[in-house]
Each structure stands twice: as structure tokens, then as C-alpha cells.
Structure 1
């Protein structure tokens, strides 16, 4: 499966909610019964406890409702002058703000409550606070800060011998290393967490950490271990009471069977995951389930099901993008209107004060002073009108720039999707063609489309919509081509020597197509049979030029390459795009083949 990082991150989010909200996964007293108890007593101490139970009962299903109970809990604790319970309530409030996605608010509350519990030397609550601070800061994009707070939480829990909470903290730390692709470190932490949670005898958390550990095994290509652990999770998880973990395990098993080309088993598990996702309204991971179903139906020749799954996947991804875009637009508009009203009120107040001052002065100053005041007033009025006009023009320009940025991002997104659909249609078409040469031509066409789709995918996901870092693109293109030609990385290694250079899209597209042809040629012809070797891609500045070099230690350009006999379409493309970049092409045969492209026509972008 493709989006590995997001799969594990989703599992982590559920883990964080479980630990920082501090609620058990078993049934709580019914909400209506507790509300009747509160209404029927004047005992504030009992009310405090019952509001806490209401919080616990609603935190998982309805955090917004839980927030209301917590605010009543804090108000009652203040009435009782119970400073500790007031601050306990603030911790609950920070947890719930996190669950509602109010990360900055949650972080402010945690920082405030940390001061009180540090003064009280209460390590029990401090551990939960640090875990919550880590969860909230994770959305800032700084995994160093997140890891710092998770580590502080783990140290406190572990020192107290609290296996349940220390296991969950380890689980959360492991996610940071998965995001860094340090799978051995992540697996080590998760295995320790799994042992701790088993010792703590919390089966509901065992399923959750078990799923995350199985996913880490899958990421590290340890498929047998991942398969066994996913099956264990299914065996000990109730489909009705813990639908999410049951779904996640089925999804993981389906992806493993897809990797093993065991298509009937893959369909069984993935269809079960889709059914649970629809029954429980779980949008998380549903797009990935549809994409895996598209892959398996496509490879088994079930074209109607494949197209339907691809359509659902594309529709779901587009709707998610649109929802996020509309939300950002609404927030920006609301902020703009609020600032506009504040400025208008301030200007009105300033005008009223100026008029009042002029009236008082008109009674005591001479006609000359009145005339000077009038001149001054009109001067200020003219200046104010000029400033307002300039501000209005500035707002119009800024709005146009914002709309242009949104439109450009949407264009990149749509172009990427269209290229992806074209690639998928080419793949479907190739299944009906028996001529191997025609199939190879279609596959090469797919690779050229993918090389362009990679550029547009990276552009709309970053803040810089017209440029990207070349080294990152080269790595992704190389990985895509190795997968396309089924080349074992243990047989042929792929190395890069690149400078951190940002190129604009007009330079990237012809450069990407040239690199696609050179890498494809090396993968197809340089290492026949069981021959091993390596491919090295170099991209750096050389004097006033950019040097793109693709070197292999294979059999050599003229030994097996049929393009020496006649000029292929790939070489025609290289010549055409080299001319566009005003580039010189140099082919050397030295223990293999080295192709050097010296580019003179390019646009570097500096975002500093």
C-alpha cells in the first residue's frame, strides 16, 4: 500500500485519545441517569463526582458535550474553593480541546496546569499533562518537541511502575520514529509497549498497540510477523464493541495478502474492512481501503469492480481536499470581516473625538485658529481618504493573490488526479494487449505520465506551488521506476548525490522526463540476467551549468542496448527536452555507461 505514514498516524491518534482523555473503554453509567441524580441533590461534592462520570461517559462519543460537563465541573470546584480539582478540571478541558482539534487552546491549558502540578510535585497528573502537550504539539510539525514531551511522560509513568500509561507513551514515541522511517527503533519501542500492556492486563489497549506493532512490521517488510499479529488482534477483539481495531486489522491483512498476490484472501479482508467502515461511519482510512480494492480487482481482471473502487477513491480524496479548502476559506473570511469591523469602529471613535475637540476649540479660539483648524481637518480628511483608498487597493490585491494561490493548488491537484487516472487506464488497456512490444510501450508511457504526476503531487502538497526540491523528486521517481520494472534493490542499488536545489516547474517537467528515460534505459538494459550493480544519479551546480548525471556499472551502452542500432522514441525525447533546456548531452562508456547532461537554460528558486 502507498500512504504508509498516514496509516500509522491514524492508529496513533486513537491511542493518544485513549491515554490523555483518561477514560476506560468499557460502558459508563447512562448519561440520563447521572443527570437525574445531579438534578435531585444539593450536595456539591456528589455533583462534582457525577459531572466527572458524565465527562468520562461522553468523552469518546461526543467530546463537544463532554466539554460542557467539564466547564460545569470547573465552576463547581471553584465554588467549593478546591484548587486541586479546579486544575484537574483544566487538564480534562485540555484533553477535550485536543479531541475537538483545538490544538493551540489545548496547549495553552496544559502549560497553565503544568505550573500548578509542578508546584505540588504531583507526578501522576504531570505525566498525563506531558503526554497531552506532546499530542497537541505534534500538529505543529516539530517532531523533536513532540518526542521531548512523550519522553518526559514515559519517564514519569515508568518511574511509578504504571505499565499501562508507560506502554501508551512508548507507543506514541514509536510513531515519531515511523514518521522518520526508523523502523527498527519504532519496532523496539512497540514491542516493549506490547509487553508492558500485556503485563498490565488491559486487553482493549493490547488490540490497539498490537495493530500499531503489526503495521510497523509491515512497513519494515516483515510480513510474516505482521500477518500473525493482525490475526491475533482479530482473534481477541470483539467486532461490535471495538469495531475500529477489528477494521484496522482486516485492512492490514488485506494489504499483506495483496503484496503476496493472494488476491482472494486480500478481497475477503478488504471487503470486511470496507463494510465495517461504512457501518460505523469511519471515514479514516476508507480512501486507502478503496485504493487497495482497486489494486486487487485490477490485477484479477475484475475491471468493473476496479473502476468502481478507483472512482470511490478519487471522489473521497477530492471531497476531503474540498472540505479542507472550504474550511480554510471560511476561516480566512471570518477573520477578515472581524478585523474590518474592528477598524471601522476604531475609525468612527476617532472621528467622534476629533469633532468634539473641534467644537470646544471653536468657542475659545479666534477666527484664524478656526481657519487653521479647518485647514488641518481637511488635510487630515484627505489623508484619511487616501489611506483608505490605498488600504482598499491593498486588500483587493491580497484577495486576488490568495485566490490565485488556491486556484493554482487546485490545478496541481486536478492535474495529478487526471494523470493518475490516465496511468490507471493505460494499465487496464495493457491487460487486453497480447503483443509484448506494445505492452512495453504502454508501460513506458505510464512511467512518463507518473514522472509528471509526481511533480504536481509534490507541488500542491507544499506551500511553494511553483517549485520543489530536486533531490526529493529524484528519490521518489527512482523508487517508482524500480517498482515498475520489478527490480530487486538487493540486485541493483540506487544512490544519489544531489545538492539541495529548488527548481521551477518549467524546468522540472523536461528534466523529469529526461531522467525517466535515462533511468528506464539503465534498468532495462544495463543488468541482464542475474548481473548485480548500482545506478548513481548526480545533480549539482557546475560553474554556470546544472549537471545531471546517470551512471551505471552495467554491461555498457553498446553491448545490449538496441537503441544503438536505431534511434528510439526515448532518445528522441531526450534530444527534444535537452534542446528545450539548452543542454549538451555526453555519453561515456567507462565500466558501464555514464550519461552527462549539462543544462544551461534553467530557473533556480530561492524561498528565503
Structure 2
């Protein structure tokens, strides 16, 4: 058991799957010799291993076995650690209420026995839950208590990590003075343990503070130093996480070429990581979802079959023994209650399956949004370096098209509707962004927006958003040769007689004849219209304005 335990610890971070195998062998050995203490300890270690591999339900099962033993044995220190592990399992599975409950239990127990190290760790975990809920006041209160307690111990590595956690919270609260003090405090002592990760994280924190305070040159200096140190020391994940901050620092300092170089490197690395993780995670998640779905369907079928058989027996008994109606009704009530309990369990399984599917969809939308955002940033950097006016304008238009798709996935990730978009919210945000980023006149053109709140799926809203993007940009470019106070654009979107109507109207110069069907924007709108089985018509009067009407016949309203 000692050998397996040492192997488990040695591979915990470098090879989690092998570490889990050693943990299982440790537990099996403890069971063979009927060593209750080490069986409980093995269950705790196996709970930790399953949290690392995202098997949270299995982790909770092992944690509860371990907690039951340590609670009976009155081993408060280890019970505190088990409760902390349960809190972590619930936190990673998205149940922050139960997570908060067990973190608080862990903190209360460890503090009561004077174990300030475990108490401080639990306080930091509690603070992180409040931070996730955007309750920064409570987050600050608990993290400050955590740092105060951990500083009474001699565990300098824990002191560093908890202090950095609090310093980063101060940055979010815009308390830059206190954040700077904590980052510098860590830097003065980090050399005593030669912790490159802590060193790089502290420099990165100071760099972010400098950028927030508009001290761009100092921020860039700190970011470059942190990135070089982490990369040269083999901390590639931490170096990768520092790259977006470094790109921003280069941009703020006007060093667009260096920013573009790092952005290209970051894109290649994230594309590689995302591709590997996406294939693995999607495959595992879909396999798990399908297996659980089939298992649930079989269980429900079994319950329904049992229900029919029980009803048939009851009918026969009622027909034969009418005198036993009262007793049979009682029996039926009991059986019905049992069936309801079984159905409730099946419902819980189905809800859990749906929750896992929603987590998967939210992760997909988040990653797609990040990928589009990187593309948008690269287009922006490229436009800043473009000399030719036409090229600069073409890149800007491409950036706007990408931004319309970024906005869709951002809304899907931030809201409960993971498969649908509210047209009112989306159109208001999209139009505002377009008018702010694509205004060519000295005077801003006013606009009116009248949009019905209709929830559409992503296959419908994406082409509509791109078409609206093209119509507004065309209007801003061609409708108004000069800025006049009476210039105005009106945008409306509504449902009528089972069709959707999108109208963009201006009071500009108008035009005669046909639209230039060879321009990229017109070709794009025609292609997108075919997908919606839509028609795009123009009604224009010279010197009176133009109305573009998109009539949509194929859509999916949720």
C-alpha cells in the first residue's frame, strides 16, 4: 500500500490516468487485508482521481464512503479534507449551492480543531464560489480571511497561491493599490522556493495592473518577462494563458507587428489544443449521453411494463374478491407510491442527462465564440497595418461579418436558451455595434429600430444577421453622399401571416436601374436568402430614399 501510494502521488499531475490506476490498486490491497482506515483513505484518494478525470458522480460515491468512516472515527482533520473534495466535485459539476454547503462544513471543522491550513483552503474555495456568482463583496471577505489564516502557518507555497488568488480578485474590484502590494509581496519571497509558476503569475498580475492604469510600457515589460520565464521553464500551459494579455499589451503600445506574431502563434496552439480536446471531449460526452439515454429508456420501459402487469393483477383481484376492495385500494396506493418513486428517479436521471447535454452545448458555443473572436482580432490587427484604403475597408467589412456571428454564440453561451436567440436583443446589439464601428460620415446617422421579440434557432438567425449586416453597411456607404441633419435609417422586423419581414429604409439619394449583382455583398445576400427560401426586393426613388425588404418563408421559431 505504501508503494502504491507513493506511485499515486508521483504521477498525480504528470499522468492522471496512471495515478488513478495506482489508487485503485491501493484500495484493492487495503480491502484484501481488511484495513478499514486505509479503505477509507483509498476511497478519498479515488474520489480525488475521479474529480480530475471529470467523473463527478463516481467521485461523490467514493467520497461519501470515506466520509462515513472518518465521521464515525471522529477523525476531524481527514473529514474536513473529504468535505472539501465533495465541494470540489459539486463545484465542477455545476451545483454551486451544494458545493458551498460542503466547503463551509470543511472550513468549520478545520477551524474548530485549529487546522488553519485546511481552513484557509476552504475559505478560498468559498470565496471562489461567491466570485463565480459575481458576489465580489462576499468573495473578498472570505479570501481575505483565508490569507490572514494561512500566513500564521509556515506553508509558504500555500501562502503564495492564496495571496495571488486575493490579488487577482482585487484587480477585478479595481483596487489596484492593494493588488500591487500583494503581487510584490509574493515576488519578494518566491525565490525562497524557486516556484516559477508563482513567479510568472505574479509578474502577469503586475502587468495587468499596469495596463489597467494606462501604464502601457510597464505593463508590456512585465508581460514579456512573465511569458519568457514561463515558456523557458517548461510551463507551456501557463505561457499559453499569458499570450492574450501579451497581445493586448503589444496592441496598447502600438507594436502591432509583434502583437500579430504572438496572435498567430496563439491561434496555431489553440487550434491544435481545441481540435484534440474537442474530438476527445465530444466523443466521450456523446458516448456517455447515448449510453445513459438508452439505459434510461430501458428503465422507463421496465417501469411501464411493471405498471401494466400490476394493474392487470389488481383488476382480476377486484373482480374476484369484491369484499377486499378497501384492502386492495390500500395495496394499490402503496404500489402507486413505489412506482412514483421509481419514476421520480428516472426523471432525475433524464434531467441530469439534459444538464450534461446543456453543459456540452455551452462549452461548444463558448469555444466557437472564442475562435471567432480570435479571427476578429486578427482582422482588426491586419486592418491597422493595411495601407490601401480599399483593402482596409474590405477587411473591416469581413470583421463586421465575423462580429455578427460572435454575437450569436456569445448570447447562446451567456443565457439559458442554448439553441435559440431573441431577435430583439440580438438586433439591438448588432445594429449598435455596426453603427459604432462602421460610421463613415462626420455626423452620425440616426436610426430607429422596431423589432419584435421572436426566438429563432441558430440556423435561422445566422443568415438573417449576416444579411442585415450587409444591408446596413451598404446603406451607410451609398445612401448619404453628405451628412445632413435629416438623414435617417429605419430598421423593422416582424412576423406576418407565417412569414418574417425584415425592412431597412433610408431617406437618402436613392438609385435608378438594377443593383450591381456582381458585388460580393449582393452575392452573399443572395446565397443566404436561398437558405431561408427568402426574396430580397428593393424599392427606390431618386432623392427620396430606398427600402430593402427581405421576405423569409423558411424559419424555425422556438
- Compared with structure 1, are the counterparts of its residues 100 and 125 closer, same or farther at alpha carbon in structure 2 (3 Å cutoff)? same
CA distance in 1, matches of 2:535, 2:192: 62
In structure 1, what is the equivalent of residue 336 of structure 2?
none
C-alpha deviation, 1:185, in angstroms: 2.2
Pick aligned residue for 2:88 from 135, 148, 159: 135
Instruction: Provide the secondary structure at the position in 1 that maps to 2:69.
Output: helix
C-alpha deviation, 1:289, in angstroms: 2.0
In structure 2, what is the equivalent of residue 95 of structure 1?
48
- Compared with structure 1, are the counterparts of its residues 140 and 324 closer, same or farther at alpha carbon in structure 2 (3 Å cutoff)? same
Q: Give a deviation string over 1:234-268, Cα, whole Å, max 9, x none.
A: 22213873222222222222233333343332232
C-alpha deviation, 1:332, in angstroms: 7.4
CA distance in 2, matches of 1:461, 1:479: 19
- Compared with structure 1, are the counterparts of its residues 498 and 197 closer, same or farther at alpha carbon in structure 2 (3 Å cutoff)? farther
- Compared with structure 1, are the counterparts of its residues 317 and 475 closer, same or farther at alpha carbon in structure 2 (3 Å cutoff)? farther
CA distance in 1, matches of 2:436, 2:191: 37
In structure 1, what is the equivalent of residue 71 of structure 2?
118
CA distance in 2, matches of 1:200, 1:130: 22
Please tell me whether the aligned partners of residues 427 and 446 of structure 1 are also in contact (alpha carbons under 8 angstroms).
Answer: no
CA distance in 1, matches of 2:151, 2:365: 50
Please tell me whether the aligned partners of residues 93 and 106 of structure 1 are also in contact (alpha carbons under 8 angstroms).
Answer: yes
Question: Does 1:185 find its partner at 2:141?
Answer: no
Please tell me whether the aligned partners of residues 379 and 396 of structure 2 are also in contact (alpha carbons under 8 angstroms).
Answer: no
- Compared with structure 1, are the counterparts of its residues 252 and 99 closer, same or farther at alpha carbon in structure 2 (3 Å cutoff)? same
More contact order relative to length (CA 8 Å, sep ≥ 6): 1
CA distance in 2, matches of 1:515, 1:78: 66
CA distance in 2, matches of 1:478, 1:224: 39
Question: Does 1:147 find its partner at 2:100?
Answer: yes
CA distance in 2, matches of 1:296, 1:191: 29
In structure 2, what is the equivalent of residue 591 of structure 1?
none
- Compared with structure 1, are the counterparts of its residues 428 and 463 closer, same or farther at alpha carbon in structure 2 (3 Å cutoff)? same
In structure 2, what is the equivalent of residue 198 of structure 1?
151
Pick aligned residue for 1:86 from 39, 43, 52: 39
CA distance in 1, matches of 2:384, 2:421: 32
Please tell me whether the aligned partners of residues 16 and 53 of structure 2 are also in contact (alpha carbons under 8 angstroms).
Answer: yes
- The equivalences for 1:156-555 within 5 A come to 156-238=109-191, 241-328=194-281, 331=284, 417=371, 420-421=374-375, 424-430=378-384, 446-447=399-400, 449-456=402-409, 467-468=420-421, 501-507=455-461, 510=464
CA distance in 2, matches of 1:148, 1:475: 40
C-alpha deviation, 1:309, in angstroms: 0.9
C-alpha deviation, 1:178, in angstroms: 2.1
For structure 1, which segment, 418-427 or 262-271, has the greater mean C-alpha deviation from structure 2 after superposition?
Answer: 418-427
- Compared with structure 1, are the counterparts of its residues 89 and 231 closer, same or farther at alpha carbon in structure 2 (3 Å cutoff)? same
- Compared with structure 1, are the counterparts of its residues 334 and 125 closer, same or farther at alpha carbon in structure 2 (3 Å cutoff)? same
CA distance in 2, matches of 1:176, 1:475: 32
Instruction: Provide the secondary structure at the position in 2 that maps to 1:199.
Output: coil
C-alpha deviation, 1:232, in angstroms: 2.0
C-alpha deviation, 1:53, in angstroms: 5.5
- Corresponding pairs, count: 441
CA RMSD of aligned residues (A): 5.5
C-alpha deviation, 1:211, in angstroms: 1.4
Give the gaps of 5 or more residues in structure 2: 293-359, 439-450, 476-491, 512-520, 537-548
Please tell me whether the aligned partners of residues 123 and 156 of structure 1 are also in contact (alpha carbons under 8 angstroms).
Answer: yes
Q: Give a deviation string over 1:462-485, Cα, whole Å, max 9, x none.
A: 998863456875797699789979
- Compared with structure 1, are the counterparts of its residues 423 and 275 closer, same or farther at alpha carbon in structure 2 (3 Å cutoff)? closer
TM superposition score normalised by structure 2: 0.61
In structure 1, what is the equivalent of residue 517 of structure 2?
none
For structure 1, which segment, 155-164 or 190-199, has the greater mean C-alpha deviation from structure 2 after superposition?
Answer: 155-164
C-alpha deviation, 1:171, in angstroms: 1.0
TM superposition score normalised by structure 1: 0.57
- Compared with structure 1, are the counterparts of its residues 215 and 470 closer, same or farther at alpha carbon in structure 2 (3 Å cutoff)? farther
CA distance in 1, matches of 2:255, 2:48: 46
Give the gaps of 5 or more residues in structure 1: 1-47, 340-405, 486-496, 522-537, 549-562, 584-596
Q: Give a deviation string over 1:116-155, Cα, whole Å, max 9, x none.
A: 2333343322221111112122232222232222222222
CA distance in 2, matches of 1:500, 1:457: 18
C-alpha deviation, 1:500, in angstroms: 9.3
Instruction: Provide the secondary structure at the position in 2 that maps to 1:424.
Output: helix
CA distance in 2, matches of 1:291, 1:91: 37
Q: Give a deviation string over 1:263-310, Cα, whole Å, max 9, x none.
A: 332232222332243234434344442222222223434343222211
Q: Give a deviation string over 1:12-42, Cα, whole Å, max 9, x none.
A: xxxxxxxxxxxxxxxxxxxxxxxxxxxxxxx
